[in-house]
Each structure stands twice: as structure tokens, then as C-alpha cells.
């Protein structure tokens, strides 16, 4: 056995080997040590190897999925080695013959299909990057849904596209690995490296043609060699990991970069589209706007957020579908809630990993699709909904067959049996009857034999030696052994008082009764295969039906959100307009609503004349809401172009080709990048890539270096965006000197976030108004943050001196000489006036101790002080 284990393990040195032994998957040697630690299970030992104990651990087969999930999340790959025969079959080859075993599947992050291992509301993409000379392509698929896409792209776009897809596993060739390593490290991805043969474009074309059963791929699109290379690598890897049992994939869909709004990795992170800065789903835009009620609808929403469209016709079609949902009554959502995850059920069935519940999921999806189609009776449906509705019917025969074949609530596994409904198959019903009602069947046969022979005392009995037999008294024996009864009844045994017979029919019935349970299960397995084949025969049509249901769910989910949050239908056109009335940040507004606080809405106008730039310089204190204002307008543009209503009173969005965001501060210590360096890298990417259709939001450019260096960089960046990139931009800054550019550069205007000072404190109004701020209120914000009072007082002193020196153009050295910055006295509280200079009223006021006074004492003290104050003058 260990020789067999080591032989199989040698083929998968980079994976943990789950070695099936009866009801357990066992692991040995280093695999056992690593798995025991990762899974927190007991590490034992079994036998010896080279004189040393063999480490061993194991997990139950029935609970293997939970352990697989843990191992995959911790970065392991798992080779599942199954028993390919029963022990009884192995023994036929010899007493010491080992049961045949082999790996039936290699489990990796990008090849999961089980519900327990996947997030139902997210895609699980497996991607591959290929390079042919200077051409690059990215292919990706989700074997749990059948999605399959490919895209030619430039090397500079690789990071942005990977950030958009967030694949669970990325395949690269060994020659590409080193070239892409810096990009992948930025994204935190560890690729799976394959040999060059996997990326051979010629072989890839043949593999793809074989998968889809065609002579040529021309019917799917005109693919370049590099695209065939990437797609071929995906199929080759699936063949390796699935051991030749390829998943159901849709024909490859060719995507074009120019049809999607471009969003780079830094911008996705800053805008928190599908994940918050903390890394979880909570707090992201997706978490706030997701009102879908199906898993497929949720996955479609995630794709739309990640890939807003630039196709005006597509955007308007989606918006019209949402408008239809807003004006509807929402009843369809109740039917949609009953729709199971059809795509993933089809995938498991195609990989022969499905069970009766997957067939039941297909049945339920078809039934709900019929019901939804019946409710879509309006004469004027939006084009998108009308196209979806046309896909929801046409599978009546399959639905009727599944409805007749399956019980209402089938078990999870085929081996559990009892999932075929009574009356569907006569042979199965008979086997079940024999299994469950064997005594009744024997009793019926006994009655028939008694009637045929005319011997009322005839009995059918059973013992462990003869099995079932017919028994009569010795008085009737001669009759039974004489023609014509002797032709039917075969003499078996004679005792003192009884004679025993058997019949061919009784022997066959006995065998069937004894094997009825196994026979019933085998019939059910055969029927399951037949039903699965019937489903897979129409899998392409079912995939289209699943997509149609997801489309309707997404439109109604966005409509429900628009009604609940009072969002508006945006006007999207081919202009360079960008005008938002009373815009709001959807995530911040949702968070404030939970606390019962209102969100202060603000207008934004970045509409540009012709091909000129439009830039708003935003000034104001920290904590006033500048970053929120920047982000909310970027999100409004994104929501509009993904086909959603937007959080505003009104919005006019001219098509945005790219969104760039440089907001927040972070460093990259692992790569030796300071916060300022990261900021400059992101800013450089904006200046090098932004076109005149881009929307750019910048926050505090140049703050990570010396004041004049930072001001100079911010000034130059603003001029570049205005003159060369000609973008629509929001530029937040604390460099008030930049506000002078509003009077010099056409299309540049000033705006500020309003605040109000009261008794030395600052109150944030969160209102964006025209004009420029003259102060940043940094000291007041520091006080709100809880800095010690001596530090606050000292900061105010230094600030007054510096501002005074700036006005008088005093040198910095002179200011430092005038301020004892490092003196101990400077850090103490400002002492009170000497007692001799204080008035008598002040002296008495200092002597009062409010903590020890009653309200009456306090009132009397106030009267006394007021009287004395009047006497003093």
C-alpha cells in the first residue's frame, strides 16, 4: 500500500495527496505533517519507513469538503486519490492485492465547483496570460458557471484587468513569469507557472476545437494567435486538474477594452468598489447596492460594477430596464427568490459531480422561469427585459420529465437513493416493492400456488439453508410430485411430516428480494444518468435562461434600491457634460442612515466646453468631507454607466472613458516605496494614461514631501491635466496658493467645503460652495482628535507666529529664534495672571469649587459676584 502511495505522490509533488482508504482520506509523511498543522487535526503514525515512524493523519470522506476549503484558503493544492475498485474485486487478483487507486481530480483555487467551497454571490475565475512576441492576451473562465472570455490587451493594462477580474488562480508561462512578477506582486497574486507547451497557440486551437466539437473556431470569433495561446492554456490546465473530465464551457466571448470604462487597480482600491480598504465586502459599494435575490444576479451585479460600459446603446438599454422596474409593483421579485443557482448546478452535472439536488435545481429554475414569463404580460416591455422573457420558455418537455421523475425533496447524493418518484419507472417500483414488501409479495405468491394446486395448507417458508421453499404435508406430496404439478414444483427435501419444493419463479423471486435494495439503487443511478444527459443536451439554452433570469433580477434589484433610497434616472449621452444636483455618497449615506443622521447633499459641475478641460479646485479643512465629495462623484459616473440610477436629485453624465483616483495615503514597505513614492507612482499613471474623456479625482497631491516641493508638484500636475490631458477633474488640496490658477486657466474654478467657527471650535457644515478657503483649520481638527491641550496651545502660538512671519516675509530662522520651540515652558499650560494683577471678583471666582457646591450655594455665589462686580465699576 505504501509503495502505491509513494508512486502516486511522486506524480503530484506540489500537492497534498488525499489517499482514499475506506471511509477516510489519509495523508502520510510530509503531507500529513503539513495538513495536521493547517487543519488542526491529530497527527498519528502508522508503520515504519527506513526505520522511522510514518506520520499520518486523515479526514472523513463525508466531511472532506470543509477540510478542502480550509486547505485551499491556506494556499494548498490537493490531489484527490480515489479507490477505483472494491476490495472484493482486488482480492480476485490475489489475497495480498492492493485496491487500485489513482488521482481523479486536482483541487486548486480556480477549479472549484462545490457550493460548500464557493461564494454563491461571487465568480471564481481562473485566468491565463499569454504573450506572443509583443502581443498580450488575457483569457478567463469560471468552471462553476461556464463563463469563458478572452481579451487582447497591452502589457500596461494587465494590472488593471487583473484587478477588475480578481481571479482566484492565474496561469502564466515560465518565460512570462519574471516579466509580470512586479505587477503580480503589486496585486498580491502568486501565479501557477506552466510549461511553454501549454501555451502553444497551435495546440491550443486544436484543444479548443475539440472541447466545443467544431472543426474551426471561426464561428466564435476571429482570434489572434496570442488569444488562442491564452485560451489553450486554460483548457490544458482544466484537462490536467479534472483528469480529462472537462467542464461545460460556453463558447469563448471576445471582449474589447475600448467598450468598457477603464479603472486601474489603485482606483478600484480607493473607490472600494467590491471590497473595502480593510479587504472585506462590508463597507464596499457592492455591499450597499446589492439588492439582488438570486446568486446569478449577484454575480452579474459584481461584473457590472467592475466593468461599466462605454457603449451608449447598452447603457440606455440597461437604464430603461431599471426604469421599468421602478415603475412596476415588485411582484416578480417574489418569484425570483425561488430561483436556484442554475449555472452552478449545470456545471456540476457536466463534470459528473452533480447529484439529485442539482437536477431538482434545474426543475425549480424552469418552473420559476415559466411563472415569471407568465407575469411578463405587458405589451411594452423594455428591449432588455423583452429579450430575457423570450428566453424563459421552450423547455416544457424537460420540465415535465424532471417533474415526473424527481421527488419533491431529493437527497444530496446519488448513492443515497430514493430520489426517483414512485410511478416513473415500473422496474424501479417493482424493486422497491420487493425490498420493502418482500413478505407481502411472498404471501401473494403463496395464495396463488395454493389456488393453482388446490392444496389449502400449502405454505411458503424460509430458512438459512434452503432459503425460500414451498412446504406441504406428506399427504399431499404425491400430488405435488405427479404431473402436471411436478413440471412446476421441484422436490428439495423430505422430513418426517413435511415435503419441501421450490420453483424457478420462487428462486428468481428470492434472488430479487435479496438483491432488491441494490437493484433499486442501480436503477436509480441509471435513471439519474439518463436525466443528466437530457439536461446537458440543452445546456446552452439553459445557460441563456439563467442569464436572462439574472438580468431581470439585477434590473429589479437596482429598481428596488432606487425607490428605497430616492435615486434618480441619470441622463447619459456622448457629450463632455458632468452635472450632478444634490449628489450623495451611497456608502456613507447608508452608514449615516443607520445612525439616524442625514447626509448633506452637494452639487457638482464639471461640464467641459468642447475639448477643453474642466477642473474644480476644492479647498477646506480636513474632516470636512472633501474625500467623500470626490469619491461620490466618481461613483455617480460609474453607477450611471453600469446602468443604474444614481444617488442624486438629477444627473447628466457625458460618457466617461476612464476613472482615475488618487485618494488616501499608503506605503509599500516590501518594495521599498514610501507613502510619497506610492503617491507619485499613481499620479504618474494618471498623467500618462488619462484622455480627454477621463474623470480624475485627486486628493492632496504633493503632501508627502517638503512644502515647496509639494506645492510645485501639485501646481505642475494641475497644469498638465488642464493643458495636455484636458480631463474633467476634482482636485482637492491644502495648497491655497493653487486657487490663484482659477483666474488664469480657463475651465478651472474654485470650490470650498464650508465650516463655521464658534468659540474657538470649528463646526463642519459638509457643504460645497463656490470660492476658496483661506485656512485649513488643522489645529482645530487636531484638538478634535484629542491631542493634549498644551500641544494645541503651543501649535496655535507657532501658527500665529508663522502666519505673521509670512505676512511680514520674515525668514524661517528668525521665526524659530523668536519661538522657544523646544523649551520646557512652551509645553506647559499658559499660566494664569499673577494674583496681584487679578481683580477681587476673579480671585473669589478662582476660590470657588463647583464640585462641592449645592445649586443654592452656586446661585448665591453668582449674586454675590455680580454685586461686587457692580461695586467695582
Going by the annotation, the residues of the binding site for ATP are 620-627
CA proximity to 183, closest of 165, 152, 162, 168: 162
For the purposes of burial, counting CB atoms within 10 Å of the CB of 1, is it exposed (0-12), middle (13-18) or buried (19 or more)?
A: middle
The DSSP-derived string for 761-789 is: EEEEEEEEEES--S---HHHHHHHHT--H
Sorted by sequence, the CB contacts under 8 Å of residue 589 that are 6+ apart come out as 565, 599, 647
State the cell numbers at 319.
Answer: 437604464
Distances (CA, A) of 435 to 423, 468, 704, 733: 16, 15, 80, 81
Find the length of the chain: 873
Buried-state track 172-202, b at ≥16 Cβ within 10 A, e below 16: bbeebeeebeebbebeebebbebeeebbbbe
Tell me the three state secondary structure of residue 794.
Answer: helix
Question: Rounded to whole angstroms, how far apart are CA atoms 362 and 869?
Answer: 90
| Beta strands 650-654; 578-583: pairing state | antiparallel
State the cell numbers at 247.
Answer: 467542464
State the cell numbers at 615.
Answer: 477642473
State the cell numbers at 38.
Answer: 493547517
CA proximity to 363, closest of 406, 333, 417, 424: 406
Strand partners, 170: 127
Strands of the sheet with 135-142, listed across from one edge: 192-194, 169-173, 126-132, 135-142, 147-153, 253-254
Question: Rounded to whole angstroms, how far apart are CA atoms 598 and 540?
Answer: 49
Site of grid cell 464596499: 284
Residue 215 phi, psi (nearest 5):
-80, -30
| Beta strands 578-583; 602-605: pairing state | antiparallel
Buried-state track 23-52, b at ≥16 Cβ within 10 A, e below 16: ebbbbbbebbebbbebbeeeeeeeeeeeee
Question: Rounded to whole angstroms, how far apart are CA atoms 56 and 31?
Answer: 8
| CA dihedral sign, ordered 714, 716, 717, 722 | positive
State the cell numbers at 61.
Answer: 470522506
| CA dihedral sign, ordered 69, 70, 72, 76 | negative
Question: Rounded to whole angstroms, how far apart are CA atoms 715 and 731?
Answer: 11
Q: How far apart are the first and last CA of the chain?
A: 108
Which parts of 127-196 fold into alpha helices (H)?
A: 158-165, 174-187
> Do residues 657 and 262 touch, judged by C-beta distance below 8 A?
yes
Per the annotation, binding residues are 620-627
User: Would you put residue 762 in left (φ > 0), alpha (ψ -120 to 50) or beta?
Assistant: beta
Residue 484 preceded by cis peptide, ω within 30:
yes
Buried-state track 805-827, b at ≥16 Cβ within 10 A, e below 16: beeeeeeeeebeeebeeeeeeee
Sorted by sequence, the CB contacts under 8 Å of residue 353 that are 6+ apart come out as 113, 114
Q: Give 62's DSSP letter.
A: G
Mapping DSSP onto H, E and C, the string for 308-351 reads: CECCHHHHHHHHHHHHHHHHCCCCHHHHHCCCCCHHHHHHHHHC
Amino acid at each position: 500500500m505504501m509503495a502505491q502511495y509513494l508512486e502516486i505522490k511522486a506524480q503530484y509533488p506540489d500537492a497534498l495527496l488525499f489517499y482514499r482508504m475506506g471511509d477516510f482520506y489519509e495523508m502520510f509523511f510530509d503531507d500529513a505533517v503539513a495538513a495536521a498543522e493547517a487543519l488542526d487535526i491529530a497527527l498519528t503514525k502508522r508503520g515504519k519507513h527506513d526505520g522511522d515512524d510514518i506520520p499520518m493523519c486523515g479526514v472523513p470522506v463525508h466531511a472532506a469538503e470543509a477540510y478542502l476549503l480550509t486547505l485551499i484558503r491556506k494556499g494548498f493544492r490537493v490531489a484527490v486519490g480515489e479507490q477505483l475498485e472494491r476490495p472484493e474485486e482486488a482480492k480476485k487478483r490475489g489475497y495480498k492485492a492492493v485496491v487500485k487507486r489513482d488521482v481523479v481530480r486536482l483541487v486548486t483555487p480556480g477549479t472549484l465547483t462545490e457550493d460548500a467551497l464557493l461564494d454563491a454571490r461571487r465568480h471564481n475565475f481562473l485566468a491565463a496570460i499569454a504573450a506572443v512576441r509583443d502581443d498580450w492576451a488575457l483569457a478567463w473562465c469560471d468552471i462553476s458557471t461556464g463563463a469563458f472570455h478572452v481579451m487582447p490587451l497591452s502589457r500596461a493594462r494587465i494590472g488593471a484587468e487583473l484587478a477588475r477580474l480578481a481571479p482566484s488562480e492565474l496561469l502564466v508561462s515560465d518565460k512570462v513569469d519574471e516579466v509580470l512578477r512586479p505587477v503580480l506582486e503589486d496585486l498580491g497574486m502568486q501565479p501557477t507557472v506552466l510549461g511553454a507547451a501549454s501555451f502553444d497557440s497551435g495546440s491550443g486551437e486544436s484543444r479548443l476545437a475539440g472541447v466545443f466539437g467544431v472543426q474551426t473556431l471561426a464561428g466564435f470569433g476571429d482570434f489572434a494567435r496570442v488569444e488562442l495561446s491564452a485560451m489553450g492554456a486554460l483548457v490544458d490546465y482544466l484537462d490536467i486538474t479534472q483528469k480529462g473530465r472537462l467542464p461545460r464551457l460556453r463558447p469563448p466571448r471576445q471582449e474589447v477594452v475600448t467598450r468598457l470604462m477603464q479603472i486601474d487597480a489603485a482606483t478600484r482600491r480607493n473607490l472600494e468598489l467590491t471590497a473595502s480598504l480593510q479587504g472585506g465586502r462590508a463597507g464596499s459599494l457592492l455591499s450597499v447596492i446589492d439588492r439582488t435575490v438570486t446568486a446569478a444576479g449577484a454575480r452579474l451585479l459584481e461584473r457590472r460594477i467592475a466593468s461599466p460600459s462605454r457603449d451608449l446603446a447598452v447603457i440606455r438599454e440597461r437604464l430603461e430596464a431599471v426604469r421599468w422596474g421602478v415603475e412596476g409593483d415588485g411582484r416578480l421579485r417574489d418569484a425570483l427568490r425561488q430561483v436556484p443557482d442554475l449555472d452552478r448546478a449545470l456545471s456540476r452535472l457536466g463534470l459528473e459531480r452533480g447529484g439529485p439536488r442539482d437536477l431538482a435545481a434545474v426543475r425549480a429554475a424552469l418552473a420559476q422561469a415559466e411563472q415569471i414569463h407568465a407575469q411578463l404580460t405587458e405589451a411594452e416591455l423594455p428591449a432588455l427585459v423583452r429579450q430575457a422573457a423570450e428566453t424563459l420558455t421552450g423547455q416544457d418537455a424537460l420540465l415535465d420529465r424532471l417533474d415526473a421523475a424527481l421527488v419533491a425533496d431529493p437527497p444530496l447524493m446519488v448513492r443515497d437513493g430514493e430520489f426517483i418518484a414512485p410511478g416513473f419507472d415500473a422496474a424501479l417500483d417493482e424493486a422497491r416493492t420487493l425490498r420493502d414488501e418482500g413478505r407481502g409479495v411472498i404471501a401473494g405468491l403463496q395464495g396463488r400456488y395454493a389456488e393453482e394446486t388446490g392444496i389449502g395448507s400449502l405454505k411458503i417458508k424460509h430458512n438459512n439453508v434452503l432459503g425460500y421453499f414451498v412446504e406441504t404435508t406428506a399427504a399431499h406430496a404425491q400430488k405435488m410430485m405427479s404431473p402436471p404439478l411436478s413440471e412446476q414444483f421441484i422436490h428439495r427435501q423430505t422430513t418426517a411430516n413435511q415435503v419441501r419444493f421450490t420453483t424457478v419463479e420462487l428462486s428468481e423471486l428470492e434472488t430479487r428480494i435479496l438483491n432488491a435494495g441494490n437493484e433499486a439503487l442501480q436503477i436509480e443511478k441509471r435513471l439519474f444518468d439518463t436525466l443528466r444527459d437530457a439536461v446537458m443536451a440543452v445546456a446552452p439554452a439553459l445557460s441563456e435562461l439563467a442569464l436572462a433570469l439574472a438580468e431581470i433580477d439585477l434590473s429589479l434589484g437596482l429598481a428596488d434600491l432606487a425607490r428605497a433610497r430616492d435615486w434618480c434616472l441619470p441622463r447619459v449621452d456622448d457629450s463632455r457634460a458632468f452635472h450632478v444636483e444634490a449628489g450623495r455618497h451611497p456608502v456613507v449615506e447608508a452608514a449615516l442612515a443607520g445612525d439616524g443622521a442625514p447626509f448633506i447633499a452637494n452639487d457638482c459641475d464639471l461640464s467641459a466646453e468642447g475639448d477643453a478641460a474642466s477642473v474644480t479646485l476644492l479647498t477646506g479643512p480636513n474632516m470636512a468631507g472633501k474625500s467623500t465629495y470626490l469619491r461620490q462623484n466618481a461613483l455617480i459616473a460609474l453607477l450611471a454607466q453600469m446602468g443604474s440610477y444614481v444617488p442624486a436629485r438629477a444627473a447628466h453624465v457625458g460618457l466617461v472613458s476612464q476613472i482615475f483616483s488618487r485618494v488616501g495615503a499608503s506605503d509599500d514597505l516590501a518594495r521599498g516605496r514610501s507613502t510619497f513614492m506610492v503617491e507619485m507612482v499613481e499620479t504618474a499613471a494618471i498623467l500618462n494614461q488619462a484622455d480627454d474623456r477621463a474623470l480624475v479625482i485627486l486628493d492632496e497631491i504633493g503632501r508627502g514631501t517638503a512644502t515647496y516641493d509639494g506645492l510645485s508638484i501639485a501646481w505642475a500636475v494641475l497644469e498638465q491635466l488642464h493643458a495636455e490631458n484636458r480631463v474633467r477633474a476634482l482636485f482637492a488640496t491644502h495648497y491655497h496658493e493653487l486657487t490663484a490658477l482659477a483666474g488664469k486657466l480657463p475651465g478651472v474654478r474654485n470650490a470650498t467645503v464650508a465650516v463655521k467657527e464658534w468659540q474657538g471650535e470649528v463646526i463642519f457644515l459638509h457643504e460645497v460652495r463656490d470660492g476658496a478657503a483661506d485656512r485649513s483649520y488643522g489645529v482645530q481638527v487636531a484638538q478634535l482628535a484629542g491631542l493634549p491641550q498644551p500641544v494645541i496651545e503651543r501649535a496655535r502660538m507657532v501658527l500665529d507666529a508663522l502666519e505673521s512671519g509670512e505676512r511680514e516675509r520674515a525668514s524661517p530662522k528668525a521665526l524659530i529664534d523668536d519661538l522657544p520651540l523646544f523649551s520646557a515652558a512652551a509645553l506647559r499650560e499658559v499660566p494664569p495672571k499673577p494674583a496681584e494683577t487679578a481683580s477681587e471678583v476673579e480671585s473669589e471666582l478662582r476660590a470657588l469649587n463647583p464640585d462641592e457646591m449645592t445649586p443654592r450655594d452656586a446661585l448665591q455665589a453668582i449674586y454675590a459676584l455680580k454685586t461686587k462686580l457692580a461695586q467695582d465699576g
